[in-house]
Amino acid sequence: MGILAIAFAFGFTLMVLVYAIGPISGCHINSAVTIAMMVAKKIGVQDGIAYMVTQIIGALLASAVLLGILSGVIGDSSAGIAEYSRAIHGLGANDVTSFLSVGSAHCLEVVLTALFLYVIFNASSAVHFMRFEITDEMADALKNDAEWIIGVQHPVYTYELRVEGATRESLPNDLH
C-alpha cells in the first residue's frame, strides 16, 4: 500500500469523524486542537480535559485494533502481515528520520500543526454546532406560512437567508 492510499485512508477517516462526532464536541480528535481551543477560551478547561482523556483512550484503543489487524490477531490470521514487526514498523507512526533530522521533523510538525490549527480556527465558530429546539408553537406558525429566516448574528459577521420556494414548502412537513 502506497503512501497516497494511506493518506487518503486517514483523510477519509477524519472526514467521517467530523460528520459523526462534530455535532457532539466539534470533532476535537487531536489534543493540539483541544489545547488551542482552551487557550482561546472557545471551550472550558473542564471540557478540554475531558476531551483529552477521551482522545488518549481512543488513541490507545485504535492502536490496539491496528496492532491486531496488522499482526493477524483480529480477523483472518493468514491476512496479517507476516513480516510485520512493531519494533521495525512502528504502530501508525511515520518514519521521517530516514530523510529528516529529529530537529527538522519537530520543526515540520510544529509548522504543520500551526497550519492545521489556523484552518480549524478560521473554519469553525466559537459554538461549533448550535442547536435549538423548535417549539410546537413555532412549528405551527411555520406550517401556517409564517416567514422563515435562517441567519447568523455576530459582531463580525451577519447574514440572513429567507427560506422560500420548494424548500419552504417541504420543510414544515418534517417538523413534529
**Four-point Cα dihedral 49, 50, 51, 54, nearest 10:** 120
Please write the tens of the pLDDT for every residue from 53-106.
998 998 899 888 877 777 766 555 555 555 666 666 655 555 666 677 888 888
User: Is the per-residue pLDDT at 127 higher than 50?
Assistant: no
Task: Answer yes or no: are the C-beta atoms of 82 and 69 closer than 8 Å.
Answer: no
- Which of 16-20, 95-99, 123-127 is the most confident on average? 16-20
The tally of CA atoms less than 13 A away on the side-chain side of residue 149 is: 7
Please write the tens of the pLDDT for every residue from 162-171.
888 888 888 7
Domain residue spans in the chain? 3-123, 136-174
Q: What is the mean pLDDT of the chain?
A: 76
